[in-house]
Amino acid sequence: GAGVSQSPSNKVTEKGKDVELRCDPISGHTALYWYRQSLGQGLEFLIYFQGNSAPDKSGLPSDRFSAERTGGSVSTLTIQRTQQEDSAVYLCASSLQGVGAAEQYFGPGTRLTVT
Amino acid sequence: TQLLEQSPQFLSIQEGENLTVYCNSSSVFSSLQWYRQEPGEGPVLLVTVVTGGEVKKLKRLTFQFGDARKDSSLHITAAQPGDTGLYLCAGRRSGGSNYKLTFGKGTLLTVNP
């Protein structure tokens, strides 16, 4: 399909392990966003990419979280030394451009469970 | 601090009933969006409102942006089971960070047949 895809769809990991979450944006979309959705919470902004650069990392909750984007396309969100409070659905979105009111298209998310 | 407050948090109604969901803030937004999210999927954009006092209709859904651009409402007429889902409002600020959406916690709507 032509939509945003994310993998894996579900991930169960033990506390202290590292995890990598992948996002494939819509082809041609230069802007990419990561959000976190916890139970009972709205979507929490994590990071914004314009091309391969991340001008806004302000939403990353701690230095255990990092993200990169390569080739202006695929992005990976890495969580090191996972904690139980990291359990959430991680959503990726992309848009044609970052500025202005460009519509963000969301992927189905990765549900992360830290045991 | 939750910049966008949605109410009610949960709503369970019978098919055919009308309902209104509210999204309130003390902040001004350049635009406000409404999304619907179904289990296991990402949010899908329903509408964007940008002008104070603006009203947009999408079939049985009516969206309104407050005159001061601080609040919005979603009204559904004659709700159907297919309307079941999590409704999220999201605001966009003007200026350099206008790429960023601030989301409310959502209203979980269940329409019973």
Tens of pLDDT along chain B (113 residues) come to: 558 999 999 999 999 999 999 999 999 999 999 999 999 999 999 999 999 999 999 999 999 999 999 999 999 999 999 999 999 999 988 777 788 899 999 999 999 99
- What is the least distance, in Å, from the CA of A42 to any CA of chain B? 4
Q: Is the CB of B50 less than 8 angstroms away from the CB of A101?
A: yes
Kindly list the residues from chain B whose CB atom is less than 8 angstroms away from the CB atom of residue A29: none
Judge residue A24's burial from the number of C-beta atoms within 10 Å of its C-beta, 0-12 exposed, 13-18 middle, 19 or more buried: middle
- A1 pLDDT exceeds 60? no
Longest dimension (CA), chain A: 40
Distance, CA of A4 to CA of A23 (rounded, Å) = 7
Mutate to test the interface with B, among A58, A104, A105, A110 (most CBs of B within 10 A): A104
Distance, CA of B105 to CA of B43 (rounded, Å) = 13
**Nearest-by-Cβ selection for A101 from B43, B92, B97:** B92
- What is the least distance, in Å, from the CA of B103 to any CA of chain A? 6
Work out the angle at residue B92's Cα, subtended by the Cα atoms of residues A8 and B66, and round it to the nearest 5 degrees. Answer: 130
Do the bridges between strand B85-92 and strand B71-76 make them parallel or antiparallel, or are there none, so unpaired?
unpaired
Mutate to test the interface with A, among B1, B35, B48, B99 (most CBs of A within 10 A): B99
Longest dimension (CA), chain B: 46
Kindly list the residues from chain A whose CB atom is less than 8 angstroms away from the CB atom of residue B42: 4, 91, 93, 106-109
**Beta-sheet strands, E only, within A1-115:** 5-7, 10-13, 19-24, 31-37, 43-50, 53-56, 65-69, 75-79, 88-95, 105-106, 110-114
